[in-house]
Amino acid sequence: MDKTTRSPIGETDFLQPSHLISAEVSLFCQMLRKFVDNEVLSHAEELDDYWDWTERKEQTFVHGIWKNLLIGLGLQRTFLPEDFGGAGGQSTVETAAMIQEVARGDYGLASTGFISPWSIAALMIPRRNEYLLKKLAPLLLGDDVFIIASAITEPHAGGSVEDVRLRGTQIRTRARLEGDEWVINGHKLWASGFREANWFRVLCVVEGEEFPGNIAQIFVPADAPGVSTSKPYRKMGASIDTNGDIWFQDVRVPKENRAQQDPEDDLKSVIANITIGRLTSAAFPLGIMKRAYEVLRDYVDSREIAGKPMKEHGAIAHELGRVAQNILAAEGFFYSAAARMDRPDTYGFPWEAKNVALASAVQNAVGELGWDAVSRSLELMGSYGYSREGKMEKLLRDLKIGQIVVGGPILRLVEIARHYFGTQTV
């Protein structure tokens, strides 16, 4: 039996719900897939090495990839509402399908590629910030790469700044209103795409305000006086997603730059953003798992052990079954939650505690299933698994990052316990 005789595996053999994806988005996903096949996978090793691409003087292939993804294919404009010139209205299911395609090519590419939509969501939920949408839309529709990063994490805490039960006490980046302007001081870390970002969404605590009015998301141009950044960190993976320090020193922006003018809406927006961030973050490991499956499938198709095809050994077949089962379980759980998120009338809004808990459970469970699937795949490939040439070890490194972002797995478990068991004191 050889590669040519294997049964074809199509999209419907896995659990992405194509019936919930419009013809346009489906076509767009096919274009993303082609782009990944032709322009991203061929650069897999360099994407790992070019962690410092923003510091290199020359124009690199990374610049070209961004341009083709964000401008050429039009991803940048996709998430603007239709009346602002975008495609608007993508559902969570559809957004996840797009993320999955790009993350199949490279986690870092996807995490910067989809950072602006996460920031823009704060301008859409629960109400639209027309002032900022008008300001940012022409830039997102332009011919230059335009990134709005989300600066949440701080040097002393990532999870605790996201933990709303702590009522903003752990946010040290401060904003005070002086006349018609916010004045911002603080230090953020890790925002995806921070080095090439044009704007930042900055999570702040408002001086002199009590919870729930004290938590604000303020949009800041990266070239505003008082904003500075470090060089990018070198990480275990997600290399071309740049992450580092951002300092805000007496940065002044108009008061309309608060994501939601009503403080209660801004709190809803922050919580909704955490829910959306955790849920969509689970689409990244799904993309990684699909890629791991392809790599493993090619490998076991051609590798022999003890004189017969590897996949024809009972013990190996058991492991292969486990890998496929994990992908099915992850995708099934993910998309059933994503489909619920698209029906707030029936299943509640993203700022509701039950949806924070659900998104947290999805991110954790998909991450664990992914970790299990990819590390089993790596082991099955022996020394090819742990060497770069085997194309598997990078997937495992990237996957671990996907398990940590947006608050970390332990906080997410606590939030699940809070909702399902009424845990009060932690």
Site residues (vs ligand FAD, CB under 6 A): 111, 115, 150-153, 157-160, 163, 190-192, 235, 238, 241, 243, 401, 404-411, 414
Considering the complex, state which of residue 370 and residue 407 has its C-beta at the smaller distance from ligand FAD: 407
Q: Which residue has the tokens 């994990």?
A: 326
Closest CB 169 distance from ligand FAD, rounded Å: 11
Considering the complex, state which of residue 317 and residue 410 has its C-beta at the smaller distance from ligand FAD: 410
Closest CB 201 distance from ligand FAD, rounded Å: 9
Considering the complex, state which of residue 97 and residue 240 has its C-beta at the smaller distance from ligand FAD: 240
Closest CB 170 distance from ligand FAD, rounded Å: 8
- Describe the crossing of helices 393-404 and 283-302 by its angle, rounded to 10 degrees: 160
Closest CB 234 distance from ligand FAD, rounded Å: 11
Closest CB 310 distance from ligand FAD, rounded Å: 34
Closest CB 153 distance from ligand FAD, rounded Å: 4
Considering the complex, state which of residue 1 and residue 410 has its C-beta at the smaller distance from ligand FAD: 410
Considering the complex, state which of residue 229 and residue 243 has its C-beta at the smaller distance from ligand FAD: 243
Q: How far, in whole angstroms, is CA 333 from its chain's centroid?
A: 17
Which residue minimizes CB distance to ligand FAD?
Answer: 158
Closest CB 419 distance from ligand FAD, rounded Å: 14
Considering the complex, state which of residue 283 and residue 401 has its C-beta at the smaller distance from ligand FAD: 401
Considering the complex, state which of residue 167 and residue 313 has its C-beta at the smaller distance from ligand FAD: 167
Report which of 376, 367, 284 is spatially closest to residue 322, judged by C-alpha positions. 376
Closest CB 285 distance from ligand FAD, rounded Å: 13
Closest CB 77 distance from ligand FAD, rounded Å: 21
Whole-number Cα distances in Å, 60 to 236, 244, 345, 372: 21, 20, 47, 35
Considering the complex, state which of residue 117 and residue 385 has its C-beta at the smaller distance from ligand FAD: 117
Closest CB 304 distance from ligand FAD, rounded Å: 38
Closest CB 262 distance from ligand FAD, rounded Å: 24
Q: Which two tokens stand for residue 359?
A: 């998104």
Considering the complex, state which of residue 149 and residue 267 has its C-beta at the smaller distance from ligand FAD: 149
Report which of 95, 120, 92 is spatially closest to residue 28, judged by C-alpha positions. 95
Considering the complex, state which of residue 103 and residue 267 has its C-beta at the smaller distance from ligand FAD: 103
Considering the complex, state which of residue 158 and residue 370 has its C-beta at the smaller distance from ligand FAD: 158
Let me know if 259 is exposed, middle or buried by CB neighbors in 10 A (0-12, 13-18, 19+).
Answer: buried
| SS3 letters across the chain | CCHHHCCCCCHHHCCCCHHHCCHHHHHHHHHHHHHHHHHHHHHHHHHHHCCCHHHCCCCCHHHHHHHHHHHHCCHHHHCCCHHHCCCCCCCHHHHHHHHHHHHHHCHHHHHHHCHHHHHHHCCCCCCCCHHHHHHHHHHHCCCCCCCEEEECCECCECHHHHCHHHCCCCCCCEEEEECCEEEEEEEEECCCCCCCCCEEEEEEEECCCCCCCCEEEEEEECCCCCEEECCCCCCCCCCCCCCCEEEEEEEEEEHHHECCCCHHHHHHHHHHHHHHHHHHHCHHHHHHHHHHHHHHHHHHHHCEECCEEHHHCHHHHHHHHHHHHHHHHHHHHHHHHHHHHCCHHHHCCCCCHHHHHHHHHHHHHHHHHHHHHHHHHHHHCHHHHHCHHHCCHHHHHHHHHHHHCCCCHHHHHHHHHHHHHCCCCC
